[in-house]
Structure 1
Amino acid sequence: MSKAKKQKNANKHRALSAQQTIPYIAMHPDGICQLPGGLYTKTLEYEDINYAVASTEDQTAIISGWSACLNYFDSSLPFQLSFVNRRSRNANRYKVNIPAQEDDFNSIRGEYVEMLKGQIAKSNNGIERYKYITFGLPAEGVAEARPRLGRVEADVMGNLKRLGVQSRPLDGRDRLAVLHGQMHPGGREPFRFAWKDIPKTGMGTKDYIAPDSFDFRQSRTFRVGQMWGAASYLQIMASELSDKLLAEILELDAELTVTMHIQTVDQLKAIKTIKGKISDIGRMKAEEQKKAVRAGYDMEILPPDLITFSKDAAELLSDLQSRNERMFLLTFTVVNLAPTRQRLENDVFTVSGIAQKYNCALRRLDWQQEQGFVSSLALGYNGIEIQRGMTTSSTAIFIPFMTRELRMDGQALYYGMNALSNNVIMADRKKLKSANGMYLGSTGSGKSFAAKRELINVFLATNDRIIVVDPMGEYAPLVRRLGGQVIEIAPDSPHHISPMDLQMNINDEDSPLSMKADFLLSLCELIVGGKEGLQPIEKTVIDRCVRLVYREMALG
């Protein structure tokens, strides 16, 4: 074929607009997306759970549960795991929730706000991390695909719930918002879309999410809008993988998308293929032994690679036949995005270093940058034909969980930095399962300082009442500075507590008189009861006297 004809054929298949690069046919309002080839997909967004800080037993249980989730998908149900690190817009950055007020404490408020701003600036709150699972199945039309996808969605959400993972399905607008964020890196342009606008404007869904331009003319990089990008794939060379590989990549302070396209191989077909490979290895062994006999050396001496392949194939066949293992075909891609080409190369180099540490390699998708980018979109479309055979255990080691964030809005208080994700911890105790708290630590570790910091935060951010019981008197100066009242209880102080005081207007199911009698019985038992406590006759006398003392109040 002549060079001119080749160029003509290439131009014929080249996308003429940014919209044509986006590889889906239709997006429906209920979240079902139609892809080329009659594949219909849906997407779930799921939250994180505490894996990195869990005990070894809990980590084993989580990996076992995650393996069961992977084994749910059969050969007719390909799925995609997407991990999107996106630079948030300034309007969406986590902000300090302590506004200035007309009082005498704005100087304290200003100092505390500056401290919080500094902690937020040091954290990774500029990077928003999202996790999605996209699954699809072939169907003749959307009417046929809808009930089947609904059943799969319910099963997947149930499997995740058993792991303690909260998830939610994305509708059509949510999926378009995800795609818009992936194709507008840097978070500069807000997503504006409503289904009612389509008939008014005559625009399609792709027009609302497409960037200004794509540029895939270079072999190792591409441009999306004003941003630079690079698509790479992970070459897995290690015989055993670590559960920290994926976590370390996702912890980077960089804009990137990690994608795992997973296709389950039919179990019978996988076993048949492995048996064929074992037969081929046996035939190669026989040929090597024949060569050894002809050359006159020991026929038991075989090439090391042949011995290794034979052992690995036998173990793989045993796993597929006797253990709850499936065979998967995995495509692992990483798409880095950065505002400058130099920053992009630095980010790619960092990811490559992490992969190298775990005996893997990050290879650039030369002349396949467009296919790599569109395959990273949370659509379930895979245009990369680089696959690696993996068992269930090997695939599950890419554990998608690290640590659960605790970052609430509203009257949330600052509790420090998450040691794993490096994000600020902001929580409202009243919204948690238990509002109680306790500071534990060795002497000099900062327990009192943390308590005083929380006290100031409660004072500045809420209208809650604060009561401090302080035997050592170390909180008195702080309470006086905040305009509080200090009540000193001591033998030589002017303040006293009357144990006989009774309030008849208490809104409680129990009688105030009965409660006071029980209290005075307990008090007398502590004071004069001794080792054996009060005798029954003494308890009777005290109870009778209490009722006589408060008889007039009870009658009134």
Structure 2
Amino acid sequence: MGIFTDRFIQLKKADKPLFAAPKSVQQQIEILRIAKDGIFENTKNRYSRVYRFADINYVTVSEGDQYEILKQYCKLVNAIDVAFKITIYNKNRNMSQFRQNVLIPDKDDGYDHLRDVYNDIVEERIVAGKQGIEQERFLTVTVERKDYEQAKAFFNTFEGGMQQEFHAIGSKLEPLDAAERLRVLYNFYRIGDEETFSFDFDAYVKSKTDYKNDICGSMIKYSPNDFETDRKICRAVFIRRYPTSLPDTFINEITNVPVHSITSIDIVPVPKDLTTRTLQKKYLGVESDILRQQRVRNKNNDFASDISYGKKVEKKTLEALMDDVRENDQNLFFAGVNMVLIADTREELNSITETIQTIGNKYLCNMEVHHLQQREALNTALPVGVRQVETMRTMLTRDIAALMPFNVQEIYEPTGLCYGTNRISKNLCVADRKKLTNGNAMVFGVPGSGKSFFCKSEMLGVYLQTGDDIIVIDPTLEYFDIAQNLGGVCINLSNYTQNYINPLWLDVNELDLADSKGLIRDKGEFMLGLCEQAMSEMLNSRHKSIIDRCIRKLYLDIAMSKEKYVPVMSDFYDLLMKQPEEEARDIALGLELFVSGSLNIFNHQTNLDVDNRFIVYGIRDLGKELSAIAMLVMLENVRARIARNAEKGRATWLYIDECHVLLGTGEHSGRSEYSGKFLYSLWKKVRKQGGLCTAITQNISDMLQNYTAVTMLANSEFIALLKQANVDSQELSRVAGIPEAQLKYVNGCNSGMGILKHGEVIIPFDARVKKNNIIYDLFNTNLHEKNKQGIKTDDQYS
């Protein structure tokens, strides 16, 4: 667009360096003075500040959502009226520290062989991805002000508006202080020693030392087409020629090349009044040229010929520009894209340069090397706040938006567990549910989708990496194998076993007449659900009052007794029979089968090691009558266990497989409302006690039809959605916050793949594990594969 000259030239004029011929590496760093809050004076009266902003899911959302993001990004760009720079920094990741975070160290506890295989699986994922690179995004804003105070006032006002604009897109904007800004420069100049950076602003002021000595390397040697540091060899390139239209994935494509690089998009807004006046002036000039051209032709008696093609095109272009500026909220900018490519050898650098140029050629972008301007290009690319190369061209707001800096979200928390890899970026998904406001989870997947494999992987990571306890409620005996291999207790409850759990167990030594700890109240709430299950009908108010009365009398008598004892169900039954109301006998009659009848397995004192670190309750063989009651009994036992662990400062991971049975969804609809309420109350209460509940079920569509299940889903910040069928996408988006476009990653996907929601971050993940290792054999539930390998099925635990 060559129609803009005159005053526009001043806007895109390159900055002059502090030193025309620097005598040291320190003099090359374009910083004059620094302030503790991160506002730097680059040259006299020119101040800059750097902000880090978070990535968002752009490539994984629908076209409609991408359009909305582009519109919002256009609004954001238009809102900035000073020169700014967007930097995408593929920085070096300390792989030794990274491996230390994600791999599990040996503990010499008899399970190091499992840790070795687990670490091998994680290592394969590291090698398959670009784990040696960590991507950061920065916004650098530069402004001219008389002094630091005026610059500070500007940035304070600027931050408030920009944080709202970034929040509207789904990102977060945070300013960097002096130490954080210097760390960014340190990460380039001292690549490989990132973890050794240390800077104390107050100590720097007292000592009056030069902070540049601590961040720069020992040398930089410039050549016409590249430059060398004491650690790497680098090359600065830029986009010389742009196509008529550029896809919004271009920046993502060049920054996703797995190499160390710095990509900067420098943008200088043109004042709208200057743009309008210039366009009007140019348009009047074109009209005058056309009129003059027609007069000449008329003078030569040439009345039929039209105006020249060149003037026609120029007029049409100007009219389109004026319409865009006046009606379509388009602003004019000068913009330029620069990259610094970093490699270990010149051969590698040439290969990287060729790759980047090939990508550019694919989109008709001519990417060239900064010849004899490598130093100036480096200072321009770094998020310092200067621009020392003139590679700018005019662009409208929509053209700037095509240089979209967003790609896909990532999950990486050094204290977390590995949940596979991001299917888009190939980076590891390392999440820590304990850091979420609500660490409860739900795992969905049709049979064969890998949901039990996913949960077993998490259990193994918890057991091998932490000291937390694990409890599993297992209706199909799928988790007995992993528990036995980890020294856990497998409790197979049935009519013909001698495994007993006392549902009325309490630490009777903690009882008092005022029930100050709420032990009796909690037990009363539990017994309401148990009695309703036993009676197979809804309780009325008289039933509830009788049950509450008997429970209170049962435990208050124990509290007043000198000889403490733990009651069993027959004690509660006897109390019911002594009550005068006819309803009490109805309740007792409903309980008779489970107290003195053939299903009396819960009318005994507990005879199992319920304090083991890994417990699996198997309820497959209980039968229809006992299964619902067994679920309630075990949940009550689990609640008490979580409370005891909380007093010890220990977390408890609870897994409930096939939880739709307890919630009464789908074919199990019509079950007791108390079972669902009790599970929901457990969902809410255990969070404060360090409990992490996980519900495992098949079809999310059934869950969305149950109010209690929907409420639990809405309060679960960790959701793993594997292969699904017939998903109500709108309801899922409303309840769980998973966009409809993301569901393409669960429709028809392979086993072990799906969507992972961790807090506000949603990513497509791949948790598949290669076969032929002991962990795969331990987790595998495919009967046909087990039979081929000679592995016993879960019937061995019946």
Same-fold call, TM cutoff 0.5: yes
Instruction: Quote the residue 2:259 is aligned against.
Output: 254
1:478 is the counterpart of 2:491:
no
1:449 is the counterpart of 2:456:
no
The within-5 A match list for 1:239-250 is 239-250=244-255
Instruction: Quote the residue 1:350 is aligned against.
Output: 355
Q: 1:86–1:181: 8 Å Cα contact kept in structure 2?
A: yes
Looking at structure 1, the residues matched to 500 and 301 of structure 2 have their Cα atoms a distance apart, in angstroms, of 106
The within-5 A match list for 1:12-27 is 13-27=20-34
Aligned residue among 306, 325, 344 for 1:339:
344
273 and 225 in structure 1: CA distance in 2 versus 1, 3 angstrom threshold: farther
The percent identity for this pair of structures is 24
The within-5 A match list for 1:255-334 is 255-282=260-287, 299-300=305-306, 302-303=308-309, 307-334=312-339
1:491 is the counterpart of 2:501:
no
Give the residue type in structure 2 aligned to 1:58.
D
SS across alignment from 1:466: strand
Instruction: Quote the residue 2:532 is aligned against.
Output: 522
442 and 356 in structure 1: CA distance in 2 versus 1, 3 angstrom threshold: farther
Q: TM-score, normalised by structure 1?
A: 0.86
Q: 1:180–1:210: 8 Å Cα contact kept in structure 2?
A: yes
With 56-65 and 79-88 compared, the bigger mean Cα shift is at: 56-65
Q: Which string of whole-angstrom CA distances, capped at 9 and with x for unpartnered residues, describes residues 398-438 of structure 1?
A: 2222122211122x111110112211011111222442333
Q: 1:38–1:141: 8 Å Cα contact kept in structure 2?
A: yes
Instruction: Quote the residue 1:129 is aligned against.
Output: 135
Looking at structure 1, the residues matched to 426 and 194 of structure 2 have their Cα atoms a distance apart, in angstroms, of 24
Give the residue type in structure 2 aligned to 1:238.
P
Looking at structure 2, the residues matched to 298 and 440 of structure 1 have their Cα atoms a distance apart, in angstroms, of 74
Aligned residue among 35, 43, 58 for 1:28:
35
Q: Which string of whole-angstrom CA distances, capped at 9 and with x for unpartnered residues, describes residues 322-352 of structure 1?
A: 2222111112111111111111111111111
Instruction: Quote the residue 1:45 is aligned against.
Output: 52
Q: 1:136–1:149: 8 Å Cα contact kept in structure 2?
A: no
Looking at structure 2, the residues matched to 541 and 192 of structure 1 have their Cα atoms a distance apart, in angstroms, of 68
Instruction: Quote the residue 2:518 is aligned against.
Output: 508
Looking at structure 1, the residues matched to 432 and 23 of structure 2 have their Cα atoms a distance apart, in angstroms, of 52
68 and 487 in structure 1: CA distance in 2 versus 1, 3 angstrom threshold: same
Instruction: Quote the residue 1:417 is aligned against.
Output: 421
The within-5 A match list for 1:537-556 is 540=542, 544=546, 547=549, 551-556=553-558
SS across alignment from 1:93: helix
1:118 is the counterpart of 2:128:
no
Aligned residue among 162, 166, 172 for 1:156:
162
Q: What displacement does 1:45 show?
A: 1.5
The within-5 A match list for 1:57-72 is 57-72=64-79
Q: TM-score, normalised by structure 2?
A: 0.61
Give the residue type in structure 2 aligned to 1:405.
E
With 343-352 and 153-162 compared, the bigger mean Cα shift is at: 153-162
Q: What displacement does 1:236 show?
A: 4.5
Instruction: Quote the residue 1:8 is aligned against.
Output: none
Q: What displacement does 1:511 show?
A: 2.2
With 261-270 and 506-515 compared, the bigger mean Cα shift is at: 506-515
233 and 541 in structure 1: CA distance in 2 versus 1, 3 angstrom threshold: closer
1:237 is the counterpart of 2:237:
no
Q: What displacement does 1:168 show?
A: 2.2
Could you say what the CA RMSD is over the residues aligned between the two structures, in angstroms? 3.1
Higher relative contact order (CA 8 A, sep 6+): 1
Q: What displacement does 1:254 show?
A: 0.7
Q: Which string of whole-angstrom CA distances, capped at 9 and with x for unpartnered residues, describes residues 24-52 of structure 1?
A: 32223332211235211111122222222
241 and 309 in structure 1: CA distance in 2 versus 1, 3 angstrom threshold: farther
Q: What displacement does 1:235 show?
A: 3.0
1:359 is the counterpart of 2:369:
no
Looking at structure 2, the residues matched to 298 and 224 of structure 1 have their Cα atoms a distance apart, in angstroms, of 68
Give the residue type in structure 2 aligned to 1:371.
E
Q: 2:106–2:115: 8 Å Cα contact kept in structure 1?
A: yes
With 220-229 and 128-137 compared, the bigger mean Cα shift is at: 220-229
205 and 495 in structure 1: CA distance in 2 versus 1, 3 angstrom threshold: closer
Q: 1:83–1:257: 8 Å Cα contact kept in structure 2?
A: yes
Q: 2:413–2:430: 8 Å Cα contact kept in structure 1?
A: yes
The within-5 A match list for 1:395-474 is 395-410=400-415, 412-474=416-478
Q: 2:26–2:213: 8 Å Cα contact kept in structure 1?
A: yes
Instruction: Quote the residue 2:762 is aligned against.
Output: none
Where does the alignment leave 5 or more consecutive residues of structure 2 unmatched?
Answer: 1-18, 559-798
Q: What displacement does 1:264 show?
A: 0.8
SS across alignment from 1:63: helix
Q: 1:48–1:403: 8 Å Cα contact kept in structure 2?
A: yes
Q: 1:88–1:187: 8 Å Cα contact kept in structure 2?
A: no
Instruction: Quote the residue 2:184 is aligned against.
Output: 178
With 285-294 and 487-496 compared, the bigger mean Cα shift is at: 285-294
SS across alignment from 2:430: strand
Give the residue type in structure 1 aligned to 2:496.
D
Looking at structure 2, the residues matched to 152 and 302 of structure 1 have their Cα atoms a distance apart, in angstroms, of 48
Q: What displacement does 1:449 show?
A: 1.8
Give the residue type in structure 1 aligned to 2:494.
A
Q: What displacement does 1:127 show?
A: 0.8
* Count of aligned positions: 532
Give the residue type in structure 1 aligned to 2:283.
I
Q: 1:330–1:390: 8 Å Cα contact kept in structure 2?
A: yes
Q: What displacement does 1:186 show?
A: 4.9
Q: 1:502–1:516: 8 Å Cα contact kept in structure 2?
A: no
The within-5 A match list for 1:192-203 is 192-195=198-201, 198=204, 203=209
Q: Which string of whole-angstrom CA distances, capped at 9 and with x for unpartnered residues, describes residues 242-280 of structure 1?
A: 111111111111111111111110101111222333344
42 and 502 in structure 1: CA distance in 2 versus 1, 3 angstrom threshold: closer
Q: What displacement does 1:361 show?
A: 1.6
SS across alignment from 2:330: coil
496 and 208 in structure 1: CA distance in 2 versus 1, 3 angstrom threshold: closer
Looking at structure 1, the residues matched to 311 and 520 of structure 2 have their Cα atoms a distance apart, in angstroms, of 83
Q: Which string of whole-angstrom CA distances, capped at 9 and with x for unpartnered residues, describes residues 485-528 of structure 1?
A: 111123333335666778875943872564255224421442xx
Instruction: Quote the residue 2:213 is aligned against.
Output: 207
Give the residue type in structure 2 aligned to 1:518.
L
300 and 153 in structure 1: CA distance in 2 versus 1, 3 angstrom threshold: same
481 and 288 in structure 1: CA distance in 2 versus 1, 3 angstrom threshold: farther
Give the residue type in structure 2 aligned to 1:35.
N
Q: 1:331–1:384: 8 Å Cα contact kept in structure 2?
A: no
Q: 1:513–1:547: 8 Å Cα contact kept in structure 2?
A: no
Q: Which string of whole-angstrom CA distances, capped at 9 and with x for unpartnered residues, describes residues 282-320 of structure 1?
A: 4565577679887979634853x6555443332221111
Looking at structure 2, the residues matched to 295 and 119 of structure 1 have their Cα atoms a distance apart, in angstroms, of 79
